[in-house]
Structure formats: structure tokens, C-alpha cells
Amino acid sequence: MIALRELRLAGRLASETAPREGNGRFTLDGDAALEAHLASVCADLLAGVRGLIPPERLEAVLLGGGYGRGEGGVLRTAHGDRPYNDLEFYVCVRGNRFLGEHRHALPLQVLGEILTPRAGVEVEFKITSLDVLRRAHVDMFSYDLVMGHRRLWGATDCLARLGHHRDASAIPAWEITRLLMNRCAGLLLARERLGRTDFTPDDADFVERNLAKAELALGDAVLAAHGRYHWSCLERRRRLRHFDPAHPPPWLDDVVHRHGRSVFFKLHPARGGTPRESLRIRHAAVTALAGSVWLWHESRRLGRDFASMGDYAENAPDLCPHTRPLRNLLVKLRHGGPRSLLSSSRLLHPRDTVLRLLARLLWEQPRDDDAFRPEVAAFETLWRRVS
């Protein structure tokens, strides 16, 4: 069970609407050595970033994700607490975002690769600018970042003009689809791992982690669809447990139960100890539940009922109606080259293809044979480009 003090913390978080910087901790209950380790990694990273980007161009360096919000995962080991989740850093650079990415993406990637072994978890960077954030529409990433982060560099009021990113009720329906797409893609990759001849402890860890992420996302999707999303996983857990819609779907109790379990895993993960057969059974149950939530949400978003995932994949209209055809064409040209201009779907966003492929492969594809793995690999390449 989540500790009583953590639930009290969630109650206090419920009323927060202003940006909240890290509360001095990266985790809720990690030991002092883990907290010191994460602080040291952040200090080394900041020194590296400042050495790569001129001071007149560097606006801010922010730690996002669970550790930035003070809710990072704590892996208990015989040698003390260890980090578990990725470290997600946002580097805000003045000027054109694409030029900033061109100049700094590779050096920052190298820095991340250098620091990853020392951190013990993946170190990732996202390059943006405060001006881009000011002009952008709210999405889950921007809301989570603005509402809960750890500022490593930048003026104390550097996010003051990002007020529109503080409104969780403004998160558009498409963002919920993207959340489900990414977490269900994790289920597909987990299914491929479960089908391998040699199933290693690392495979088991990968599968269990992606199952927990999917279970968390299903509850988060329900909350976001009703304008009740919150940056704190503890507060989302509390809200979902007390959620009482006028017409609850038949799968809601299962979503609530699994969401609560996944919150515990997020805060106190375990690694590689579950047998493959147990993971297979759980994977089948989570996949079926995810299909129900997916069709529920997509029917609401697109204003059309779908009889099955096959019906969705074959007969759904444009799955990204919020995008612009000319921009979609340019995106496809950048990712797929001139050949993409010959496609009948050239004016549709590439995510339209990803959503349909995912529906077919995860829910309509019964086999897990040698032919399945290349299809999953091809899907993964396309998905990572547009996720």
C-alpha cells in the first residue's frame, strides 16, 4: 500500500495550480545516498551543458519526469537504493529551435551517453526554447513540465509566461490518443519479447515495466478525458479512486485497480523476478483492457462507434484531423523521402499509419512467429519517428 504520508501529500497537491519546483527531493522516500547521487549527476550534467552551449544562448536547464517532480522511482537493492526511471532534461536555447537542435543535439547526445553509466539510468535531452513553449498549445508533456520540475539553470521566473500550460483541462483529446499509442506500442514490443526463445531477466524487466506503464496510462487517459488529469501520480490515483461518472464503462473498476498497482510500481519498482508465463497472462489481460479503453476514447474523439479494432484500423476516418495536410506532406517527405509523395495517404499525418498498424498488430494479429518480429521491428522504426 502507498504510505499514509504519501496520500496526505497527494491531498495537498490537489489544490496546487502554480508551477511547483522540486521540493528538495528527487524521490518520495529514497535514501540519502540516492538523493546525493542524483544531485551529483545533475551537477555534472549542468557543467557539461554549460560547457557545450554559450551562456548568451542558454536560457534554462530543467529536470522533468518523475525525478523532477519529486516522485522518481526507487529501486530497493541489497546495496541500497538505486534510480530506476530515465532522467529527462529539457535544455532551453534562445533562437530558432531547429537551428538549436542542429547545433546541439549531437553534443548533448554524446554527453548523455557519457553520463548514463554513471547515473545508472538513461540520460535523455530535449532541446526547446522558452519562446517555443510560450507559443505552443498545452499537451501532457508541457503541463507536467511546467507544473512539476527541478530548475538546474535559468532565472527563477523563466516559466512565468507559460500560464496556459498549467490548465490540465485544456489538454486536447489527441494528446490522450498519443499517450495510449505510446503505451500500447510498449505492449506490442513487450509481446515480441515474450515470444523470444531465450527470455532473459532483462526481457522480464522490460515486459513488467511496459505493463505497468500501460496500466498507469489507462487510468490517466480516463482522467484526462474528463478534464481531471494531474501532474502527480499520487493525486491521479486519489482522483481515480473517487471518480464517479454518470455512466461508468464496465471496465472502469479494472482500470482503477490496475492504475493503483502501477502507481506503486512507479514509486517502488521491482526488477526481473516474475516468471514468463505469469507475465504472458497479465499481458493478455492488460492488452484486452487497453483495447476497450482505446475504442472508448477514439469513439468519443472521432464521434463514431467502432465495432472492433479491425473496424477501427480499416474504416476509421482521418485519425489526425487536427493536423494540416501541407504540413503532413512535409513531415512525410522529411521522414520517408520522395517516395512518400506517391502514397495515397501522403496528405495524412504519419501517426495515422502508426495508429492503424498498431491496432492490427497488437489486437488483430494472433501469431507470434518468425514473420511477426520483422513486422514489429518495422513498426517500431516508424513509431519512434513520430511518437
Contacts of 193 (CB under 8 A, 6+ apart): 199, 203, 206, 207
Q: How far is CA 84 from the centre of its chain?
A: 15
Taking alpha carbons only, the member of 354, 351, 347, 353 closest to residue 327 is 347
Domains of the chain: 19-166 (3.30.460.10), 173-386 (no CATH)
Burial call 87-104: b when 16+ CB within 10 Å, e when fewer: bbbbbbbeeeeeebeebb
Query: What percent of the chain shows pLDDT beyond 90?
Result: 76
Q: Which residue has the cell 472502469?
A: 252
Half-sphere exposure of 30 (CA within 13 A, CB side): 30
Name the strands in the sheet holding 58-63, side by side, starting at the edge strand that comes first in the sequence.
20-21, 148-153, 58-63, 87-93, 123-128
CB 242 within 8 A of CB 281: no
Q: Give the SS3 label for residue 61.
A: strand
DSSP state of 21: E
Number of H helices, E strands in the chain: 15, 7
**pTM check: above 0.75:** yes
**With pLDDT > 70 as the criterion, what percentage of the chain qualifies?**
87
Q: Using CB atoms within 10 A of its CB, is residue 213 exposed (0-12), middle (13-18) or buried (19+)?
A: middle
Residues near 275 by beta carbon (within 8 Å), at least 6 away in sequence: none
How does pLDDT run across 9-38, given as a tens digit for each residue?
Answer: 444 444 444 445 545 899 999 999 999 999
pLDDT at residue number 9: 47
- Low-confidence stretches of the chain (pLDDT beneath 70): 1-23, 324-347, 369
Over the stretch 189-214, which tens digit does the pLDDT of each residue have? 999 999 999 999 999 999 999 999 99
The span from the CA of 104 to the CA of 102, in Å, is 6
